[in-house]
Structure 1
Amino acid sequence: AMAAREEATAAREAATATLAKAVAEAVAAAAEAKAEAVAAAVARADAVAAREEVEAAMAEAQVEAAATLTQVKAEAEAAAAEAKAEAEAAAAKSSAEAEATTAEWDEARDAAAAAAKEEVAVAKDAADSAEQHRSQQVAAAQGEVAAAKEEAAAAKQEAAVAKEGLA
């Protein structure tokens, strides 16, 4: 009977130790899962911030490109108007000068027209390059958005894994 009682006591002590160990492990696992969930939430917040930053950069790039395009168009129009005025002045002058021959006037008009054409072409090139620059900025910004989306997806996955760990 004495031996049986001692055996029962030993068994109870072993069971108590096993239970304490299991409780400690469960507490540690819960703490780890909580830490992982916090890390995932931080990663998700970072991804959201990155996406907002990229969207702001895209909006800024579009505004800048639109302003540049407007400026280039205005400059091209001004250059064309100036060239036309110069051509008209040259025409008035040649007709006023009796000794100026028709050939000389034609030459002056052609030169003025060629100069105007050249200025318009230069302005158009500037507008084209501004548009190209805008496209590049938008493409770069879209790349950043894609990267931010990937980060957000990864954070979501981490959060899901952490949630499973808690369940």
Structure 2
Amino acid sequence: MVLSLALERTMSKGEILSCYTSKIYWGHGIYGVESASAFYFGKHPSCLSLGESSMLAGLIPAPELRSPLRDPSRGKTFQARVLKRMVDVGYLDIETALSVMKQYLPLQVNESEAPIVLPPGGGRNSKFKDMWDWETESKILEACEDMDRWAINVLHTTAPNSLVHPITGCDL
């Protein structure tokens, strides 16, 4: 605690966050947010969309486990957690969070840079499947539906008499 107080006296919270994100592990042998942004999305962090940024933020606690390269549905699940938290603290509105959650996030990892990821029990490399992966897609759809249910609950508790679906505009 004393160390954190001393650190806050010499650096702003923004500087502390910047130092932290530029040093931490992001999975697949990647350290630092610039390298992670380039690895996962092929761009500089300042060019990331809200969806891409929230997916990267969702990786921080366990980057290897939460990696969208290992299982794309995990990336969406933890992206949803970040977006929900942003809504909870008032940084983002529900409509934007739902819209971002439904966006497809293409990963820009080169095949030569990508780790070989085998599903449990072996099999083909799941990252480069040439046919539709219904199991992964259903998990992603489930994460989106969970986000919808959460948004309806939040809207119901904040304004129970005037419920309108944030995307369709229909009464609930």
Normalising by structure 1, we get a TM-score of 0.23
Where relative contact order (Cα < 8 A, 6+ residues apart) is larger, the structure is: 1
Which protein shows a greater Rg? 1
Normalising by structure 2, we get a TM-score of 0.22
